[in-house]
């Protein structure tokens, strides 16, 4: 009987994925839910594997590929982000790569909405007033007053799948205008009547600035002192994309000094953010632990699609969701 292919999985995988892989493969899984160590990654593939399942930030680079050996046919990342993969090197070796766009769009858009509402309606301050004391009253009519979405200008940096899904969810709130910036105008912008503008114009005119773009070599630290200085003092900044888009020292200064009103971050650098990180001391900064795709539905769909990508790659078939 031919031996079953070996798959190394660099973090615990939801049941929909692991069960599927187990039907046809011998699966080795990094045993904890914490980020895999570099040594864990190297040891996991050492001796040769037929497939790797991973997730950012688990790096798959030359060293990992060399240890995985000539049998490696396919890499399935359970993410839409690809920054952990050395794609040119992987391609050079003829290894197929699958990823999981689309299935996490709704979940990530919902998370963006959650942060938008949590920051605009000051929920963090409200929760702590309820639980830790200080539950105020009417307070001259202005106790814990927030900022309304209705009538606002919303700027979306990166009107891709997730950006569009956010705009569609915001439309019924009565947003007065959507602006977006990016590399090029998008035909689907007309679905939400969004106007393509320069990044600076978006910063200057938006009441809410939402980062939905994927990370690339050009946009590291895009949201820096210069960018925050162009925003309205009443602006709220939301990031559900990647922490590296933001210069966190500059964001801290902008929030602390009142240069912008508030921020909602689902991503940070590093993750997890250290216990004593200055951003955690700010009541106008709501931080969640990278929960964008964290719904049971999305995670199971991501795991299942990843497993299907891997199984197809092992059989030499076209992947259901190949990296373009």
Ligand X SMILES: O=C(O)[C@H](O)CO
Catalytically annotated residues:
290
Q: What minimum distance in Å lies between the beta carbon of 217 and ligand X?
A: 17
CB 184 within 8 A of CB 207: no
String of contacts with ligand X for each residue 51-70, x by CB under 6 A: -----x--------------
Q: How many CA atoms lie within 13 A of 38 on its CB side?
A: 3
Per-residue contact flags (x/-) with ligand X for residues 70 to 109, judged by CB under 6 A: ---------xxx----------------------x-----
- Least distance to ligand X, CB of residue 207, Å: 26
| DSSP character at residue 7 | E
Which residues make Cβ contacts (< 8 Å) with residue 62, sequence separation at least 6? 86, 89
79 vs 321 by CB, closer to ligand X: 79
Nearer to ligand X among residue 163 and residue 292 (C-beta): 292
Site residues (CB under 6 A) for ligand X, limited to 18-37? none
Token readout for 321 is 């969701």
Contacts of 61 (CB under 8 A, 6+ apart): 86, 89
Q: How far is CA 220 from CA 12, 224, 249, in A?
A: 29, 10, 14
The size of the interface with ligand X (CB under 6 A), counted in residues, is 8
Q: How many CA atoms lie within 13 A of 144 on its CB side?
A: 18
- Contact string 264-293 vs ligand X (x = CB under 6 A): --------------------------x-xx
Q: Minimum distance from CB of 302 to ligand X (Å)?
A: 7
Distance in angstroms (rounded) separating the CA atoms of residues 179 and 189: 9
What is the nearest approach in angstroms of ligand X to the Cβ of residue 100? 6
- 120/262 Cα distance (integer angstroms): 8
Closest residue by beta carbon to ligand X? 81
| Nearest to ligand X of 80, 262 (CB atom) | 80
Footprint of ligand X on this chain (CB under 6 A)?
56, 79-81, 104, 290, 292-293
């Amino acid at each position: 009987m031919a031996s079953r292919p070996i798959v190394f999985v660099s973090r615990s995988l939801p049941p929909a994925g692991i069960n599927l892989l187990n039907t046809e493969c011998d699966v080795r899984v990094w045993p904890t839910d914490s980020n895999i160590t570099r040594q864990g990654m190297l040891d996991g593939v050492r001796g040769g594997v037929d497939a790797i399942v991973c997730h950012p930030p688990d790096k798959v680079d030359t060293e990992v590929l060399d240890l995985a050996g000539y049998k490696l046919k396919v890499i399935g990342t359970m993410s839409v982000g690809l920054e952990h993969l050395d794609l040119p090197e992987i391609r050079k070796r003829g290894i197929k790569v699958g990823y999981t766009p689309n299935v996490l769009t709704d979940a990530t858009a919902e998370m963006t909405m959650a942060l938008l509402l949590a920051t605009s309606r000051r929920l963090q301050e409200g929760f702590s007033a309820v639980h830790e004391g200080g539950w105020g009253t009417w307070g001259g009519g202005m106790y814990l007053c927030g900022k309304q979405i209705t009538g606002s200008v919303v700027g979306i940096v990166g009107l891709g799948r997730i950006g569009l899904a956010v705009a569609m969810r915001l439309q019924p709130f009565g947003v007065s205008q959507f602006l977006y910036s990016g590399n090029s105008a998008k035909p689907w912008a007309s679905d939400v009547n969004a106007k393509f503008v320069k990044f600076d114009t978006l910063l200057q005119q938006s009441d809410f600035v939402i980062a939905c773009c994927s990370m690339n070599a050009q946009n590291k630290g895009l949201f820096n002192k210069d960018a925050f200085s162009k925003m309205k003092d009443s602006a709220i900044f939301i990031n559900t994309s990647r922490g590296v888009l933001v210069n966190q020292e500059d964001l801290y200064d902008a929030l602390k000094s009142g240069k912008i009103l508030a921020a909602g971050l689902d991503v940070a650098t590093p993750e997890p953010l250290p216990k004593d990180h200055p951003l955690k001391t700010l009541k106008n900064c709501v931080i969640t632990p990278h929960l964008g795709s964290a719904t049971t539905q999305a995670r199971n769909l991501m795991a299942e699609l990843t497993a299907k990508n891997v199984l197809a790659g092992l059989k030499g078939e076209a992947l259901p969701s190949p990296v373009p």
